[in-house]
Amino acid sequence: MHAASGALDASAKLEAEPLMALIRKVARSVSSVGKDAAEVRGVLEDTQKVVVAQCEAMGALSSDLALVRGAQQAISHSTEQSRSAVSRAAHALEGVGNEVGGIVQTLRQVSDAASEITKIALQTRLVAFNASVEAGRAGEAGKGFGVVADAVKALAGQVENSSKSIMGTVANLDARIELFSRELRNDPNQTQKSLIHQAFADVQADVGRIADSASQSALTIDSLSGRAAELEQEVQQAMISLDTAFACSDRFLKMSEQLIEQIAGSGVEVDDAPYIRAAQGAALEISTLLEQALKTGAIKPAQLFDDNYRPLAGSNPAQHVTGFVDLADRQFPAVQEKLLSLSDKVVYCIAVDRNGYVATHNKKYCQPQRAGDVVWNTANSRYRRIFNDRTGLASARNQRPFLLQTYRRDMGGGRFVLLKEVSAPIVVNGKHWGGLRLAFNF
């Protein structure tokens, strides 16, 4: 009987071996598919970020074009006002020129009057001279009359000199005002425009060119606005398509992860099994340490479950502190550092609370931040940070025996590393606290 039973067991094992080998092969294939799905998901995520940025840029461009259009309309309005103002000024100057022309005519009348005065003065002097001669002939009787005649002659001489001076001054003023009047008048019969009217013509021409340029620019802006609106619609459509593709890749990735979990949970010794057991063991160690800390009073429940994350000033990426950081710094490294030696494929091992907060990371990732160097900080200062991305939050809140995921780890500066991660829940006195995350390379 025993011999027959042993033979049956041996036979069953021999028959099961090919099946186990096939399952392990399928598990590797599914793992490879999951890796590709994670890569595709990451590329879609990057593309989605670019498209979102483009959509925002197109929206900003549309707003800028609207502002430019408003400015062009203001320019057109201003140039029209300028053209009208120049025209009014030119007409006003012509009016002033006509008024000045009237002054010229008045001055000529003054000059004519002065000429008449000169003639009268000459006649007066001649009369006075004759009177003086007659007074001399009259002797003593005409002596008084002679004195009057001399005075009249002298006065006539002064009047003649004054009138000649007026005539000279008026002639000079007349020439200057006539020149000024010609400058102000826009006489179409003139072969050459006056300087002032030429200046007005130049200003009008410049204003016209500005108006033409503004009109042409407005047409260009309208064309650009129309094209920008079309591009914005195209980008929005691309975002919808990307969202669909992203959702499909996400479902595909989850399906591959679930298949791996089911195979690993069936008891078949798949490639990921050592990491799963290690994560579960480490999670149990952390749970024991936290329960012991509560029991001894090393920490209070409110501190251990504190989710009031207080930001550290000046940190970039943002770092935070909370009630259990000191305990984590003292007790977590002993468990976390030990698992780094499990395999050369292990990248990190960390305990996170239910919100993805990492109080203390592995020592090599607990470097103090460098001011202004966000790329270096992202890769090397990973402690005191909250990783609430899809993978991080799923690991932190998982309450099943284990969770296996594939994801791209952001190392900063556009660098990503494709990893597998197994997480196991950390439970303290029956209450879910967080998870133990163990990441390893393919």
120-164 residue pLDDT tens: 766 676 766 676 776 677 767 666 666 666 766 676 676 667 667
Under CATH, what is the fold of the domain 272-440? Answer: Beta-Lactamase (3.30.450)
216-274 residue pLDDT tens: 777 777 777 777 677 777 777 777 876 777 676 667 567 666 776 777 666 677 788 89
Confidence of residue 1 (pLDDT cuts 50, 70, 90): very low
Dihedral of CA atoms 191, 193, 195, 200 in degrees, nearest 10, equals -160
Measured from the Cβ of residue 232, the count of other Cβ atoms closer than 10 Å reads 17
Asked if 368 and 381 count as a contact pair (C-beta separation under 8 A), the reply is yes
Which residues lie below 8 Å from residue 402, measured CB to CB, with a gap of 6+? 261, 264, 265, 276, 279, 280, 422, 423, 424
Nearest to 423 by CA among 365, 341, 353: 353
Q: Does domain 30-250 have CATH number 2.40.160.20?
A: no
Confidence of residue 12 (pLDDT cuts 50, 70, 90): very low
Can you spell out the DSSP letters for 137-193?
HHGGGGHHHHHHHHHHHHHHHHHHHHHHHHHHHHHHHHHHHHHHHHHHS--TT-SS-
Measured from the Cβ of residue 212, the count of other Cβ atoms closer than 10 Å reads 11
298-308 residue pLDDT tens: 999 999 999 99
Asked if 316 and 374 count as a contact pair (C-beta separation under 8 A), the reply is yes
The pTM assigned to this predicted structure is 0.55
Asked if 30 and 253 count as a contact pair (C-beta separation under 8 A), the reply is no
Which residues on adjacent β-strands are paired with residue 428? 431
Can you spell out the DSSP letters for 284-301?
HHHHHHHHHHHHHTSS-H
Asked if 337 and 368 count as a contact pair (C-beta separation under 8 A), the reply is no
Locus of tokens 């011999």: 3
> Distance between CA atoms of 281 and 279, rounded to whole angstroms?
5
The domains of the chain are located at 30-250, 272-440
26-70 residue pLDDT tens: 666 666 666 666 666 666 666 766 666 766 776 676 677 677 777
> Distance between CA atoms of 53 and 61, rounded to whole angstroms?
12
121 class by beta-carbon count within 10 Å (0-12 exposed, 13-18 middle, 19+ buried): buried
> Distance between CA atoms of 16 and 22, rounded to whole angstroms?
10
331-379 residue pLDDT tens: 999 999 999 999 999 999 999 999 999 999 999 999 999 999 999 999 9
Say which amino acid occupies 93: L
Q: Cα 239 from chain centroid? A: 21
Q: Are strands 403-412 and 385-386 parallel, antiparallel or unpaired?
A: unpaired
